[in-house]
Amino acid sequence: MTEFPHESVLINEVLETLSPQSGDRILDLTLGLGGHASALLEKAGPKGSLVGIDADEQNLVVARQRLEKQSNQCEFVHSNFKQLPELELGKFDVILADLGVSSPHFDDADRGFSFRKDGPLDMRFDRSQGRTAAEIIQKYTELELSEILRDFGEVPQHDKIAGALKRENPQSTHQAYGVIESVNTRDAKKNAQKVFQALRIEVNNELEALDTVLETAPEMLNSEGRLGIISFHSLEDRRVKQKFRALSSVEKDNTTGADIGKPLFSEIKRKPIKPSTEEIENNPRSRSAVLRVLKKNAV
């Protein structure tokens, strides 16, 4: 589709494991440009329906266009999936979260997600609220900033880089890159990737939002419903893995160690699902994607 150039990662694997059936009710928590959503909805046929959420209004506009032909089957929600418990959307047969950034976020210099292009140091998915990355650097203490770089980016020399960012107070992506480079010229690019990831996670409260999904979404599945989460770094995948393992494990009696009943959920594949070499060649941004799928057992 030349009109909508964004490539949805692991699309075949998503369709295979989430396996939408005719008439299914689908929830896409990260609608983006609507790539996964349109493919899932197509499989669900004319009786299927979709609720699509995105924090980014610009992406919602594109997704609406992409799904125009099925607009009577779709509901679009501008929200952060952190609000999932309050949205009261009901039950679904298929739920998908494809975490993180979409291509336009990286490609549009104005959004401030990438140090390859110069733009304001923003990084918010939702530009109508919250603090930008530049504001976070300005407002947080050096110690707080250093901890964010360490915990969310595993940035080497996080304390030195935090100190330099505080001193220089960068307002643009290129200024921020310059500050990171001034601390360590040789590893500037690698460090900048890590620093940008850490700031983005903090700006958008990404891990807290994911925890809300992990707490809420399994309960929103119909009998035999499927929940798929695509994550892009180990901080996310570790959380998904642990929660899915816990939900699909047999509960044991604390004293006797005996099994208590059957778990409500099972994992569709225990091993993480990763993109093929061919997909990585065609879309290098897919290389760190990991899909895990949880199924609600028949009740």
Ligand X SMILES: C[S@@+](CC[C@H](N)C(=O)[O-])C[C@H]1O[C@@H](n2cnc3c(N)ncnc32)[C@H](O)[C@@H]1O
Residues that bind ligand X (CB under 6 A): 6, 8, 30, 32-36, 53-56, 59, 80-82, 98, 100, 102, 125, 204, 209
Cα 66 to Cα 71: distance, rounded to the nearest angstrom: 9
Q: Which is nearer to ligand X, 125 or 177 (CB)?
A: 125
Q: Which is nearer to ligand X, 84 or 188 (CB)?
A: 84
Q: Which is nearer to ligand X, 96 or 148 (CB)?
A: 96
Q: Which is nearer to ligand X, 264 or 280 (CB)?
A: 280
Residue nearest to ligand X according to CB distances in the complex: 32
Cα 221 to Cα 47: distance, rounded to the nearest angstrom: 18
Q: Which is nearer to ligand X, 30 or 191 (CB)?
A: 30
| Smallest distance from ligand X to CB 48, Å | 17
Q: Which is nearer to ligand X, 61 or 250 (CB)?
A: 61
- Rounded to the nearest 5°, which phi and psi values hold at 293? -130, 130
3-state secondary structure the chain: CCCCCCCCCCHHHHHHHHCCCCCCEEEECCCCCCHHHHHHHHHHCCCCEEEEEECCHHHHHHHHHHCHHHHHHEEEEECCHHHHHHHCCCCEEEEEEECCCCHHHHHCHHHCCCCCCCCECCCCCCCCCCCCHHHHHHHCCHHHHHHHHHHHHCCCCHHHHHHHHHHHCCCEHHHHHHHHHHHCCCCHHHHHHHHHHHHHHHHCCHHHHHHHHHHHHHHHEEEEEEEEEEECCHHHHHHHHHHHHHHCCCEECCCCCCEECCCCEEECCCCCECCCHHHHHHCHHHCCCEEEEEEECCC
Cα 53 to Cα 32: distance, rounded to the nearest angstrom: 8
| Smallest distance from ligand X to CB 110, Å | 15
Q: Which is nearer to ligand X, 59 or 70 (CB)?
A: 59
Q: Which is nearer to ligand X, 191 or 197 (CB)?
A: 197
